Chain A
Amino acid sequence: MNGRTISRSQLAALVDDLVGSGVGVVAPVRAPDGRLDYRPVARLEEAVLDGGLPRLSLKSLFLPPTEPLFSFRKSGPDVAIDSVPTTFPPRLVLGAVPCDAAGVAALDKVMGWDYRDELWFGRREATTIVSVACGKGDASCFCGATGNGPAGTRGADLLLLPLDDGFAVEVVTPKGEALLSAHAGRFGEPPNEADVARRRAGLLEGRVEPVGSLAPVTAWLGGHFDDPVWDGIALRCHGCGACASVCPTCHCFDIVDEPEGVTRGTRRRNWDTCQTARFTLHASGHNPRSVQDARYRQRVLHKFSIYPERFGELLCTGCGRCSRACPGGMDLPDVLGAIAARAAAPAGGAA
């Protein structure tokens, strides 16, 4: 580890420093119903570090469920456009779960692809992400299979690894380095390497992931759009989109103009999902994805074939949120396992 350490009390003081200097600190916070949500905190005590996955993923802090793109006013024949700010006040996320931070990094690719999404990158630039290594995985997690892991650093600027009192601090990016140097007095000596190695190993102890290597799945998917494996794959899927809402990498959005009275209005973008029938419904009434099997296939292909082909990485961090949220009992590792079996079968190789 290239880093330092920070005690809990120094971390609390760091939060006070940041909040005092006008940095918005966001962390997992326990809601009255017991679940966690990423919310602004004023003090470290309000944050729950390494408490497991918050309800909605970190993407909601960069691509909110709804946001204005601009507003418009009509006066006579003219239309005036009021743009929205694309720079944001400084913010620090403390206690990002590694699979959530990895999702944000994956989304940087599509958000900066054919044009640079100003709102996404405005928030990205204003935000420093401090992940905390995760000791709360369950049987639906497969972050290892996606190339991440409970102490994964993708998307994080700093990674904190829990020690007895405080954390070992791994510096991942120059932004993380800048935070560390600006508050150097809060950080202690480098951690004991052996202790760090033992604790990292501890995070993986007893972990059995529900799905093996995804490489064969990704390799097979491209040529098998019409394979029989898709028939009935989504029988139990309601097309409800809960999976996409909680997913740290699903990023489809809809654009709507909302009138506010007769002469004004706002153009907004809102989360959307390919899992609903309406997503691909044409004005003619034709729907190219007329059955849920086809919609579910789209979700699998986008994550495990289309995105890797275009951007060189999976659009899935293995967080398992989709399986946990699904009211129909659809389980992504189970589906990936079925596809892997099909790919490995003698007839499965035929395109």
Chain B
Amino acid sequence: MKELRDLATKLLAEGTVNVVLGWEEGPRGVRPAFATDAAAAGRLVFDPRCTQNLVPYLSPRRTQVKKLGKAAVVVKGCDARAVAGLVRETQLAREDVVVIGVRCGGVIADPASPEPLSPATVADRCPGCNSREPKLADHTVGELPAAPPGESRRDVRIADLEARTADERWAFWQDELGRCVRCHACREACPMCFCERCVADKTQPQWVDSSPHPRGAFAWNVTRALHLAGRCVDCGECERACPVDIPLGLLNLKLARVASERFGYTATDDPAVPSPVGSFQKDDAQEFIL
């Protein structure tokens, strides 16, 4: 922690950056922090409650963050993939942000929970994580903790869904997506949903019904999942933001696996690796194109 605080203080003092995006104690567990002076830098924390991905705050749409000036951002390995995603898709110039990587032993799903990290509290994405030490970083702090506890709950749930018939899967998603209220919190909290004008907001023509009836809820969630296929960095923010707890991570992870099987791409924090939607190779699978 001292290493992180000292580094943030130094970056601010020497004028390398104007703000450090990290985590601090808040009224409900840890919360995103925007440290602009030494006092605030001295309050930064990193521990297993720091589940929030702070990279969405680097989006040009976050005008109130932009106003603070040049930023450093503290990232876990999964968050670093979001920085890489933004650089890869030319939303962010690598030199415009200072990246502070933290070595990570997994986080709990709910940053407000007082429970310690355990197989029961661990975030879905952490068990089996192979990016606990971000490579895309200007500075890396902390010792590498033990691997996250527990087994992937999502593997079990996806295997269970795959074993069902198409009708059963349809019923499962009807039920889950039946709760969707089309608030688009999933989109706003997602680092990779940076479109200035989302297809779901277009009205002429209206590609996606804006109503949260079954048709609108399906159209929206399927559209979003497909737009994130091979782009989603598995940071879990969409599912955490969803006010009705739709298991969006299941959709995203399944599509990430399809992208990996079909195009050999796995989300990475190396911005030089092209993503399937942003590149074309002659041997790309294309038998599905009519």
Contacts and interface: CB of A to CB of B under 8 A. Distances in A.
B135 interface: no
A30 to B, nearest CB: 13
Contact of A268 (B65, B188, B211): B211
A236 interface: yes
A234 B189 contact: no
Contacts of A118: none
A218 interface: no
Interface residues on B, range: 35 or more
A291 to B, nearest CB: 5
Interface residues of A, number: 46
Nearest to A277: B61
A59 B104 CA distance: 41
Contact of A258 (B34, B68, B211, B245): B211
A134 to B, nearest CB: 19
B220 to A, nearest CB: 12
A86 to B, nearest CB: 20
A323 B31 CA distance: 11
Given A232-B64, A235-B65, A327-B237, A65 B181 contact: yes
B200 to A, nearest CB: 10
A271 B183 contact: yes
B241 interface: yes
A139 B240 CA distance: 20
Contact of B211 (A37, A140, A256): A256
A17 interface: no
Contacts of B181: 56, 65, 245, 271
Nearest to B216: A66
Given A327-B240, A329-B30, A333-B27, A245 B185 contact: yes
A325 B32 CA distance: 15
B185 A240 contact: yes
Given A241-B184, A254-B210, A334-B27, A290 B63 contact: yes
A328 B32 contact: yes
A56 B183 contact: no
B56 interface: yes
A238 interface: yes
Contact of A327 (B29, B179, B184, B185): B185
A241 B185 contact: yes
Interface string A236-252: 10111110111000000
Given A33-B245, A329-B30, A271 B63 contact: no
Contacts of B247: 33
Contacts of B32: 235-236, 328-329
B154 interface: no
B278 interface: no
A323 B212 contact: no
Interface string B22-37: 0000111111101000
A292 B63 contact: yes
Nearest to A337: B27
Contacts of A305: none
A235 B56 contact: no
Interface string A283-296: 00000001111000
A235 B69 CA distance: 13
A291 B64 contact: yes
Contacts of B26: 329, 331, 334
A148 interface: no
Contacts, number: 126
B147 interface: no
A43 interface: no
A81 to B, nearest CB: 19
A83 B115 CA distance: 52
Interface string B209-221: 1111100100000
B270 to A, nearest CB: 27
Contacts of B31: 236, 328-329, 331
A307 to B, nearest CB: 21
A55 interface: yes
Contact of A55 (B187, B212, B241, B243): B243
A276 B28 contact: no
Nearest to B180: A65
Contacts of B282: none
Contacts of A270: 182, 210-212
A278 B61 CA distance: 12
Contact of A66 (B67, B187, B189, B212): B212
Given A245-B185, A329-B52, A331-B28, A55 B244 contact: yes
Interface in B25-66: 26-32, 34, 52, 56-57, 61-65
Contacts of A234: 64
B242 interface: yes
B201 interface: yes
Nearest to A244: B183
Contacts of B34: 232, 235-236
Interface in A169-185: none
A300 to B, nearest CB: 15
A345 B237 CA distance: 38
Interface in A40-86: 55-56, 65-66
Contact of A238 (B27, B179, B209, B241): B241
16 contacts: A33-B245, A55-B243, A55-B244, A56-B244, A66-B211, A232-B64, A236-B31, A236-B32, A238-B241, A244-B183, A258-B206, A258-B211, A276-B184, A323-B27, A329-B28, A333-B27
Given A327-B185, A333-B27, 18 more contacts: A55-B179, A66-B216, A234-B64, A238-B56, A240-B184, A240-B188, A245-B183, A258-B206, A270-B182, A270-B211, A271-B181, A271-B182, A276-B184, A291-B67, A292-B62, A324-B28, A327-B189, A331-B28
